[in-house]
Amino acid sequence: AVARRLPRAPGGCPAPLLEGCGQCVQQVLLSRQLATKKAKGKGQSQAKVNISAALVEDIINLEETSEDMQAVIEALKEDFSRNLSVRTSPGALDHITVMTKDGKFPLNQLGQISQKSPQLLIVNMTSFPESTAAAAKAIRESGMNLNPEVDGTVIRVPVPKVTREHRESLAKLAKQSTNKSKEALRKVRSKSITQVKKSKNKVSEDTIFLLEKQIQQMADEAAAEMDKLLAAKTKELLG
């Protein structure tokens, strides 16, 4: 399998620029295939594909694919941190979006949030009193099982004691969030594989196959990391 239209030869290649690049990539790809077939013959797990991003940069940007997958993981971490916690602090309300006549704003930009006691949060809306009702509505509809009480420009937010039922509910939400993240991950994988297939007329079928396999490996590793995050979060929530 000879990959064509490659940008440059790897460092140290003794052959001329284009010829050397083709020869080296041919050796790399063939060695990957032989290693995989050998592993299959012995009943062992298949060899891991790890093609250099520089060798295939005119087909696909593997680093960009990796970054997109990592972004999905980071978004899941952020969701776990912000929305799924048995501990309530003033920062837990920061992300709540309030719809006002001037547009949408984070609650912490409209009111001063403080914690009066472990079971009571206070939102002082003195700076934007006209948005008090909207802020209370946003808190009530946040999905955090909170029932705010309005007293003038002050919103009192009683924090319910954490029950076993509430912990289990949060654990289910964590599972749902993970599934949504895996769906986003699959979209990144599919987009990358589609991009690779667009080069089927420029490079060999073996090159396309190995690139698809590497992208799938990257997606599998990202999904495995998500599973670890979910396991840790579930353990934290259920206690």
Q: Show me where the domains of the chain are located.
A: 55-84+163-238, 90-158
Between residues 86 and 60, which one has the greater pLDDT? 60
Query: Where residue 35 falls among pLDDT bands split at 50, 70, 90?
Result: very low
**Which of 17-31, 61-75, 140-154 has the lowest average pLDDT?**
17-31
pLDDT of residue 58: 84
- Looking at the structure, give the CATH architecture of the domain made up of residues 90-158: 2-Layer Sandwich (3.30)
Chain CA centroid to CA 141, Å: 25
CA torsion 221→223→226→230, rounded to 10°? -130
- Contacts of residue 156, Cβ cutoff 8 Å, sequence gap at least 6: 120, 121, 122, 148, 149, 150
Which CATH architecture is the domain 55-84+163-238 placed in? Orthogonal Bundle (1.10)
Model confidence, pTM: 0.64
Higher pLDDT, 150 or 52: 150
**For residue 120, what is the enclosing H or E element?**
strand 120-124
Mean pLDDT along residues 191-215? 91
Query: 66-82, pLDDT tens digit by residue?
Result: 999 999 999 999 888 87
Kindly indicate the confidence band of residue 20, based on its pLDDT and cuts at 50, 70 and 90: very low
Is residue 14 within 8 Å of 192, Cβ to Cβ?
A: no
